[in-house]
Structure 1
Amino acid sequence: MLSACSRAPEVALAPQASAPVCASARWPGDVSGHTRVTTQPDDGSVAAWGDPALIARCGLDPLGPTTDDCVTVDGVDWVVRPLSDGSVATTYGRDPAIEVLAPGAYGAVPLLLPAFTDVANSLPATGRHCS
């Protein structure tokens, strides 16, 4: 069923969403040509673009060592995992961490990550890196 007005995507806030670096995250205005849309809740630690929504959340607990794929994009390390329809990338070596959820329609999530370099670099580094 198509609706004349789309609802704001509902986003669960991350455990450290209230951390100052997340509450005032400087999210990009657009990602790969998709404009930013309002989220529910409307919180500075989360952002979404396009329809279906590409969603980013700041405030996740940092990842520990993993065997999942780890890629470096613009000097930022990301752990990338497949989902049933799309993929998720989470900053590695940052505390708190950022998570980017990309529906399959957006293609390979690493190609979207340059839009998040500035906000990822604003997060405190833990010293861990992809190896």
Structure 2
Amino acid sequence: MTSFRRRLRRPVFLGPSAAVLVLAAAGCSTTGSPASITVPTPVPEVAAYCGALHKELPETVAGQNRDDSGPRSVLTASWGDGAIVLRCGVDRPAKMDDPMAKGTDADGVNWLLEQPEDAGPRFTTTYRKAYVEVTLSKAYAHDASPLAAFAPAVRKTVPNSV
């Protein structure tokens, strides 16, 4: 996996050409949230990390209040009526096997970037004993800064795997 190191602390916006590329990949709409939240089914060790993470998650992310609009589970959380969704204990994304995959670092936590068709960006932690996935609505297609809000909780509760 190719990783570009970029410290995300406060709102950081992609450069003009990168923003155009991401917006083109995301489509013209700037709204929309995940339709439904599927609760992962991790092994007990991973579920324990996720339970600890759940207790440390912030109440607000990118100005959005936590609302947990999906199923009640320590494996899921959401902010802004589902505009930002976190799932812990997801399976390892196949995209991690791609040496050309894009990644980023947000305050010491590495994330794989995936851009599903007709959806906002999806980020999954790398080099951690539990995979934590954050899906952002299309409104955040140009902005990965919400990841910085999760970094302290992930660093504290989900150990490195390397």
What's the counterpart of residue 88 of structure 1? 122
What's the counterpart of residue 21 of structure 1? 49
> Is residue 2:140 matched to residue 1:106?
yes
Instruction: Identify if the C-alpha distance between structure 1 residues 92 and 86 changes in structure 2 by more than 3 Å, giving closer, same or farther.
Output: same
Percent identical among aligned pairs is: 27
Whole-Å separation in 2 of the counterparts to 1:60 and 1:115: 19
Instruction: Identify if the C-alpha distance between structure 1 residues 125 and 12 changes in structure 2 by more than 3 Å, giving closer, same or farther.
Output: same
Backbone CA RMSD of aligned residues: 2.0
Whole-Å separation in 2 of the counterparts to 1:59 and 1:52: 19
Contact 1:61 1:95 in 2 (8 A): no
Structure showing greater relative contact order (alpha-carbon pairs closer than 8 Å, 6 or more residues apart) = 2
Question: How many residues align structurally?
Answer: 119
Whole-Å separation in 2 of the counterparts to 1:97 and 1:114: 16
Cα deviation code 1:17-61 (max 9, x no counterpart):
751111232211011000011333211121101135310011123
What's the counterpart of residue 63 of structure 2? 33
In structure 2, list runs of 5 or more residues that go unmatched: 1-34
Whole-Å separation in 2 of the counterparts to 1:30 and 1:92: 23
* Structure with greater proportional strand content: 1
> Is residue 2:37 matched to residue 1:11?
yes
Distance apart, 1:101 and its partner CA: 0.3
Whole-Å separation in 1 of the counterparts to 2:111 and 2:80: 22
Whole-Å separation in 1 of the counterparts to 2:145 and 2:62: 9
In structure 1, list runs of 5 or more residues that go unmatched: 1-8
User: TM-score of the superposition, structure 2-length normalised?
Assistant: 0.65
Contact 1:17 1:60 in 2 (8 A): no
